[in-house]
Amino acid sequence: MFYRLRRNIAYFKFHRQIPRLLTTPPIQVKDAPFTIVSMVAGYDVRLYLLAIKALYRRLGRGKITIVADGISEKSRDLIRRHISQVNFVPLESISTGRIQRGGTWERLLYCLDLSASEYVLQMDADILCVGPLPEVIESIGANRPFTLAEGIHKKPLNSWVEDAIARKSDNVVTDFEMKGPTYPDAGQVLYVRGSSGFTGFAQGAVNRAFVEDFYDKASIMMGPRWKEWGTEQIASNFCIANSAGSFDLPKPKYMSWERQAVPADVSLLHFLGYCRFDQGLLVRLANLEIDALLGGA
């Protein structure tokens, strides 16, 4: 209860600090052979509008789909006023089969199913583009998968133990890396420590059957912990790492922000929830982007 109260207060203050967002011009969607997919909760609608407008200003095209997690009709109307064409997919309508529900697994499965026919760019609402995105644009054009990673390139799953120890964390991602050598054929499959917050799924690279096989094997390896939040991110990392030609976006040009210094040439920031509104950085960058959307740059 207290977490939700703090979250709601933080979002209320944030909305008060970016009032001009709702005066920015709507996105005029231009068709393209790829779709931008985002899972959006009701409290994230304005943050999402900022994220998608900043991304679209740089890409200039692409279909837009929202996996809707409790978005009211009023909020859907607001989104429709700001995006000329948008497809809403109810979260509960996505079948997960034998894979667990929740923890954004529905989003991953939807992206993989859609990637059978086109490139899919998955973007969280807490992503903010602040500079040019040449690597992203080139990847879409070349049908090349990518992820927002932590600076360690993909490598065999059985090679992650030392990196996990160095992380000094007991979260489920670190536990998975520690247990990596026990995964079947761990030396023959790859892994990358990335974020599912900004990911490119190449057309035809991996499918639902691939992630179902991974899910079954990881469930045995991880036991009860496989039900924890964060396992979908592990699966997304595994899918990207084992997709032909995949790479991690260069860091710190593309980075998850955890209160560290931001370089002048940064292109994209992922504002993690636990520190999203700290130091006023998101507000400052949001208002600079709003200036540009209103014609100031």
Please report which helix (H) or strand (E) contains residue 69, including its range.
Answer: strand 63-69
How far is it between the farthest Cα atoms of the chain? 55
Residue 46 confidence (pLDDT): 96
Q: Residue 296: is its pLDDT beyond 70?
A: no
180 contact partners, CB below 8 Å, separation of at least 6: 157, 158, 159, 160, 161, 164, 186, 191
Superfamily of domain 2-296: Spore Coat Polysaccharide Biosynthesis Protein SpsA; Chain A (3.90.550.10)
Residue 297 confidence (pLDDT): 56
Spatial separation of the C-alpha atoms in residues 227 and 244, rounded to whole Å: 29
Could you tell me which of 99, 101, 34 has the C-alpha nearest to residue 65? 34
Is the Cβ–Cβ distance between 139 and 289 less than 8 Å? no
The pLDDT of 105-119, averaged and rounded, is 98
pLDDT > 70 fraction of the chain, expressed in percent and rounded: 99
The pLDDT of 240-264, averaged and rounded, is 94
Beta-strand runs (E) in 105-149: 119-123, 127-129, 146-149
Spatial separation of the C-alpha atoms in residues 1 and 184, rounded to whole Å: 41
Establish whether the linkage from the previous residue to 132 is cis, with ω within 30° of 0: no
More confident residue, 8 or 267: 267
pLDDT in tens, 154-176: 999 999 999 999 998 999 999 99
The model's confidence at residue 210, banded by pLDDT at 50, 70 and 90, is very high
